[in-house]
A and B are shown apart, each in its own frame.
Chain A
């Protein structure tokens, strides 16, 4: 390819890339401005200040919401990693009656859209007295059919000889799963974990339905509520948005490789 063509491509990509990250820059820039300055449309604040960060953190429940999101996402991710891996392994490597039927049954639940389930979940939550607890927030996500499917794919590539060796060494089936099989699919495990965590961290539909006490809001619900109330105080709203976004950006930059590889692994395998 000619030098000129490469040069044009890079120029287009750089401009496009800047356009794509502009909303983030604009969000952070606004959060560092104050008063009338926020209407001064420059990307670099004249007098950068963290005043609105202090105000948001002191006068709202942001830190509590942050903690709630962290707890819910962490528990859900741990549960998904454990059960999806175990069930994926079982469907891939163990023989038992009804295996195909049960696998299809699990997989068919992928066709059900979440909004079809939220009303029954809500009724369940009220009937069983789960309302306003962490449990009510996290019970719908404890395992995922998609994760089971994904893990099954990966375990199928694990050679049977390895598992047999474990059996000869006298490990029980759970020991074989944990010691012989799981270590071989670590990249898939990382991808599933990161995606489950991010998905739950960003979740909105179910949390906004189920929780009505501000102390139990997750970050997205709290942010939506807070922004609605602080309408037109854009420095505060953008500060809230930054507080919710920056941790995710940090996670992304740390695990970038795993996240993108994870998408390759999940998206290509059909």
Chain B
């Protein structure tokens, strides 16, 4: 049989995508369905019996105190890091956008943290924020501020982790903001200046609306990323007793809880239920934010 040119092209196309498609089916899609299925079972690696319990895992979840702690902590991670991180990087981007020389040099400085290994930097953080002998307490001492417990404190530890998250992501946000700022035509500002608009008015009426799509992209991305925080928490707050969730689980995040449930207690059915909840939250936030933020500036 002789194939037409079109048929031949289609044949090549199927050959090209066959292996990757199989990969997506086996390594992404089937496992997702498997997780949904696991979440409906009482599934423990150590026990041969894995009974179907329907929504039992989910109802258990809502009565699980640790789950609520974890949900609250994760909310604190998002609320504590996303707005602050975006605000600081927007300020840096605005400054970089208004200088004539040295932009790429400063941009490089800000960006370095983003590419370095989270684990390594997490341990640097731990060393800096040590209660006794850490440099942060030393510097505070120079200003007459009393020594802080930081990682030993149930209220401060989570903010130490947040400071690390903010620091590590600043460069990425800044680069994206800068690219967005560069796309705004200078003529808008010139026209506004002639009309006598103050810099603040220009910022509010020109920069922010025209930066909207960049802002939406960054908020959604940063939120989703922070909801999944794991490595920083695991490494910065691992306690002496092998509990990485900080003092009294005060830094335990959703994904770290999943890790403990699934791979320390081997309670994989329950762990899967937690990931399903996280999946739904991520999905909802994405849809909500996109809708809310695009609407606001449509008119």
Q: Which residues of A approach B to under 8 Å, CB–CB?
A: 1, 6, 9-10, 12-13, 16-17, 20-21, 23-24, 26-27, 30, 39, 41, 83-84, 86-87, 89-91, 94-97, 99, 102, 105-106, 109, 111-124, 139-140, 142-143, 145, 148, 172-174, 177, 198, 201-202, 204-205, 208-209, 219-221, 223-224, 227-228, 231, 234, 237-238, 240-242, 244-245, 248-249, 251-252, 256, 259-260, 263-264, 267-268, 270
Contact = CB atoms under 8 A, between A and B. Distances in A.
Given A228-B238, A263-B172, A117 B117 contact: no
Contacts of A251: 115
Contacts of A201: 117
Interface residues of B, number: 87
A251 B95 CA distance: 27
B125 A113 contact: no
B164 to A, nearest CB: 9
Contact of B99 (A10, A41, A102, A143): A10
A205 B119 contact: no
A89 B16 contact: yes
A172 B124 contact: no
B110 A120 contact: no
Nearest to B5: A167
A198 B172 CA distance: 14
B33 to A, nearest CB: 9
Interface string B270-295: 01100110110011001000000000
A84 to B, nearest CB: 8
Contacts of A1: 98
B84 interface: no
B58 to A, nearest CB: 15
B209 interface: no
B203 interface: no
B176 A267 contact: yes
Contacts of A267: 175-176, 179, 214, 217
B38 interface: yes
A23 B125 contact: yes
A245 B24 contact: no
A120 B179 CA distance: 39
B106 A13 contact: yes
B148 interface: no
Contact of B120 (A114, A145, A241, A259): A241
7 contacts: A10-B102, A13-B96, A27-B120, A115-B278, A231-B240, A237-B123, A241-B124
B275 A24 contact: no
A86 B18 CA distance: 11
B12 A94 contact: yes
B17 interface: yes
Contacts, number: 252
Contacts of B258: 115
B13 A96 contact: yes
B23 interface: yes
Contacts of A177: 16
Given A143-B24, A224-B119, A96 B14 contact: yes
A102 B172 CA distance: 31
A116 B35 contact: yes
Given A120-B35, A223-B123, A248 B115 contact: yes
Most B CB contacts (10 A, CB to CB) among A121, A142, A205 go to A205
Given A96-B14, A116-B32, A116-B276, A6 B99 contact: yes
A260 B124 contact: no
A123 B34 CA distance: 10
B228 A115 contact: yes
A103 to B, nearest CB: 10
Interface stretch (B61-69, B70-78, B185-193, B229-237): B229-237
Nearest to A252: B115
A23 B16 contact: no
A220 B122 CA distance: 11
Interface string B195-224: 000000000000000000110010000001
Nearest to A205: B230
Contacts of A87: 16-17, 20
A87 B120 CA distance: 35
A94 B13 contact: yes
Nearest to B107: A260
A109 to B, nearest CB: 4
A94 B24 CA distance: 20
A17 B275 contact: no
B10 A117 contact: no
A238 B127 contact: yes
